[in-house]
């Protein structure tokens, strides 16, 4: 990356090399014209993620959980390490999950899900459960519970090949405990443990590329998703459920108090993440890489950053440095795809596209 402003000043002290976003030698998928036809199925009316939860106004964890269960259905066991999703949905004696649900510690989601999947297999073999019954086992975990403390449990699950869908909802920090930095907090974001100050421009590390790390385990299905694009996200839940082994979904999730935007912008800010190329929606299906939401012309990343209080302290040259990181990621993706799937920055695009104008 091009280090500028305070990023440059602290370079000697802090490790800020950008990690690999994608795997070297990644194979590009054949064109798949049926992509959206595949996702064009009726979602059931039935709600399995029930209203009445305690998530903040406009928290997009609810959008993810609700659609996940609409696709996976009632025969789903949810393993939920502690985090916002857990503390806000299961306050004794009530629950918002109309499916079997188990609370686990902060770091052991992968291990508990592995055990449940293995137990279901044994019970099927012994005839206690109908062997033809399809039961989904899902880990629904935050970025802290996945990229940090839950990392080894996740890696074990992936290397052993358990048929588990691992959903990491990524609000880019430990939000439930007061907005601490995590391994997926982006460069330049101010958090309570990576505060912006006169010398330090907020977080000085790059976002851990969890999808690439999961894909490096050689599992059948990996994807990134964004709840502002529900159609794409739903398609990926379906693909994950159909995978013959582990599936890992890295889903960006906007957090009102952690990212500091007005609640009405919860979906807007997620749209801007994709429209600016900050977040690229892709899948790695049996090792084949495909961008599922191409962006012909990009908005400048400042559109995404400006909407959020956690980036308010950044100087123009630091915003430029973040833009340079994104430009390089986009270049890498286009190089692997062998064509331009994410277009150049077009400064004439308005940051906020009026509703109905797209």
> Under DSSP, is residue 275 helix (H, G, I), strand (E, B) or coil?
helix
Give the full edge-to-edge strand order of the sheet including 221-225.
27-28, 288-291, 282-285, 221-225, 247-252, 165-170, 136-142, 76-81, 101-104
Among 62, 109, 110, 142, binds ligand TPP (CB under 6 A): 142
Task: Report yes or no: 281 and 251 within 8 Å, Cβ to Cβ.
Answer: no
SS3 (DSSP) at 85: helix
The residue assigned the tokens 């054949």 is 30
Query: Cβ of residue 167: shortest distance to Mg ion, in angstroms?
Result: 13
Q: Which residues pair with 298 in a beta bridge?
A: 345
Residue span 28-67 as binding mask against ligand SF4, x where in contact by CB under 6 A, dash where not:
---------------------------xx--x-x------
Residue 76 binds to ligand TPP (criterion: CB under 6 A):
no
Is residue 171 a contact residue for ligand TPP (CB under 6 A)? yes
Burial class, 162, CB count within 10 angstroms (exposed 0-12 / middle 13-18 / buried 19+): buried
Between residues 108 and 292, which has the closer beta carbon with respect to ligand TPP? 108
Among 110, 209, 258, 277, binds ligand SF4 (CB under 6 A): 258
222 and 236 Cβ atoms separated by less than 8 Å: no
User: Is there binding between residue 171 and ligand SF4 (CB under 6 A)?
Assistant: yes
From the list ligand SF4, ligand TPP, Mg ion, none, partner contacted by residue 177 (C-beta under 5 to 8 A by kind): ligand TPP
In 3D space, the residue among 101, 58, 12, 33 whose CA is nearest the CA of residue 253 turns out to be 58
C-beta of 170 vs 285, nearer to ligand TPP: 170
Closer residue to ligand TPP in complex, CB, 196/255:
255
Q: How far is the CB of 178 from ligand TPP (least distance, A)?
A: 9
- Whole-angstrom Cα distance, residue 142 to residue 5? 31
- By C-alpha distance, which of 222, 210, 234, 179 is closest to 63? 234
| Contact pick of 155, 177, 334, 353 for ligand TPP (by CB under 6 A) | 177
- Span near ligand TPP by CB under 6 A; candidates 95-103, 174-182, 236-244, 329-337: 174-182
Q: Beta-strand (E) ranges in the chain?
A: 27-28, 76-81, 101-104, 136-142, 165-170, 221-225, 247-252, 282-285, 288-291
Q: Residue 56 binds what, of ligand TPP, Mg ion, ligand SF4, none (CB under 5 to 8 Å, by partner type)?
A: ligand SF4
* 227 touches, from ligand SF4, Mg ion, ligand TPP, none (C-beta below 5 to 8 Å by class): none
Q: Give yes or no for a contact between 292 and 281, defined as CB atoms under 8 angstroms apart.
A: yes
55 binds, among ligand TPP, Mg ion, ligand SF4, none (CB under 5 to 8 A by kind): ligand SF4
With CB under 6 A, what is the number of residues at the site for ligand SF4? 13
By CB under 6 A, name the binding residues for ligand TPP: 82-85, 106-107, 142-145, 171, 173-177, 182
**Chain positions contacting ligand SF4, by CB under 6 A:** 55-56, 59, 61, 84, 88, 171, 175-176, 255-258
């Amino acid at each position: 990356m091009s280090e500028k402003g305070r990023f440059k000043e602290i370079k000697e002290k802090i490790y800020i090399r950008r990690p690999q976003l994608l795997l070297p030698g990644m194979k590009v998928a054949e064109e798949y014209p049926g992509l959206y036809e595949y996702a064009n199925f009726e979602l059931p009316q039935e709600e399995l993620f029930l209203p009445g939860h305690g998530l903040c106004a406009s928290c997009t964890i609810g959008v993810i959980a609700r659609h996940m269960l609409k696709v996976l259905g009632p025969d789903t066991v949810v393993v939920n390490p502690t985090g916002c999703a857990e503390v806000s949905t299961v306050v004794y004696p009530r629950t918002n999950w109309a499916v079997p649900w188990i609370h686990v510690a902060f770091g052991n989601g992968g291990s508990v899900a592995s055990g449940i999947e293995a137990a279901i297999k044994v019970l099927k073999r012994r005839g206690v459960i109908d062997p033809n019954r399809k039961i989904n086992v899902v880990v629904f975990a935050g970025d802290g519970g996945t990229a940090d403390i839950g990392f080894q449990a996740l890696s074990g699950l992936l290397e052993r090949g358990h048929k588990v869908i691992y959903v990491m909802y990524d609000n880019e920090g430990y939000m439930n405990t007061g907005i601490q930095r995590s391994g997926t907090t982006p460069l330049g974001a101010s958090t309570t443990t990576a505060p912006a100050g006169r010398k330090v421009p907020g977080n000085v590390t790059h976002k851990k590329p969890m999808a690439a790390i999961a894909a490096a385990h050689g599992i059948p299905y990996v994807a990134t998703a964004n709840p502002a694009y529900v159609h794409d996200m739903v398609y990926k839940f379906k693909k994950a459920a159909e995978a013959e082994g582990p599936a890992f979904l890295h889903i960006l999730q906007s957090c009102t108090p952690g990212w500091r935007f007005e609640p009405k912008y919860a979906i807007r800010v997620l749209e801007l993440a994709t429209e600016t190329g900050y977040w690229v929606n892709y899948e790695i299906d049996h090792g084949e890489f495909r961008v599922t939401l191409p962006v012909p012309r990009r908005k400048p990343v400042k559109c995404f950053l400006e909407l959020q209080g956690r980036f308010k302290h950044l100087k123009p040259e630091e915003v430029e440095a973040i833009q340079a990181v994104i430009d390089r990621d986009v270049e890498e993706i286009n190089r692997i795809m062998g064509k331009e799937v994410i277009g150049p920055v077009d400064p004439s695009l308005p940051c906020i596209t009026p509703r109905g104008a797209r």
